[in-house]
A and B are shown apart, each in its own frame.
Chain A
Amino acid sequence: MEPITGKALILACSAIGAGLAMIAGIGPGIGQGYAAGKGAEGVGRQPEAQGDIVRTMLLGAAVAETTGIYGLIIALILLFANPLVGLL
């Protein structure tokens, strides 16, 4: 059996790290869906406030969405432009 090289170990750990980082993308999806559901309930209860509800939800959702991108960037950099391999 061949011994595990340093590069192989780094690549394996990077793949695990990338998988863990992608978990960050799930949260905003669930949150945005929940907010939209509650927004729909609010509009059903008070239809004249639809404009205000959508406007506020749009700003909140746009800010929340970028937090998912943080994890995505980390994952893609670990997979395709890994800076740690160059340190060996």
Chain B
Amino acid sequence: MLGYTWDIQVKIVKYTLIIMILIAAAAFMSFQEPRPFIYALIFGTLISILNFRNLALTLEKAVTMNPGHAQVYTSSKYFIRFFINAVVIFVCIKANYLNVLGAVLGLFTIKFVIIGTNLFTILFSKRIFKRKEEE
């Protein structure tokens, strides 16, 4: 079952991968030793995509539960994802062949994509910044 959010997931993952490739290309051209940054960027981005998929599955299941169970279920899943993020950052700090900055950028790419593709579109399409008297 693909769920209610499959189309939006595909769109966001596609944009995230495009942004990742662009950042990797920019790093390749500007850094003297770009490999640690690019490896960490790919690592961080893939983990953030998996976390996003996990979040979608969690929320699709949570809305079918009763509210009390949904709260506990979503919070516990959040802390599992938080722990995964902690492991990713810890590995990038400890490993010499991975750059921390690349991993952090990879983990945050999905946030910039969501803000860029959805929230601004929603805000401007509903014209919430326009006063009702001016219409």
Q: Is the interface of B mostly helix, strand, loop or mixed?
A: helix
Q: How far is the CB of A25 from chain B (nearest CB, A)?
A: 6
Q: Is the interface of A mostly helix, strand, loop or mixed?
A: helix
Indicate whether A7 reaches chain B with its CB closer than 8 angstroms. Answer: no
Q: How many residues of B contact A (CB 8 A)?
A: 44
Interface string of B89-120 (1 = CB under 8 A from A): 11001100000100010011011001100110
Bound complex: CA of A59 vs CA of B115, how far in Å? 9
Indicate whether B63 reaches chain A with its CB closer than 8 angstroms. Answer: yes
Give the residue of A35, A36, A62 whose beta carbon is less than 8 angstroms from that of B110: A62
Residues of chain B whose beta carbon lies under 8 Å from any beta carbon of chain A: 3-5, 8, 51-52, 55-56, 58-60, 62-68, 70-75, 78-79, 81-82, 85-86, 89-90, 93-94, 100, 104, 107-108, 110-111, 114-115, 118-119
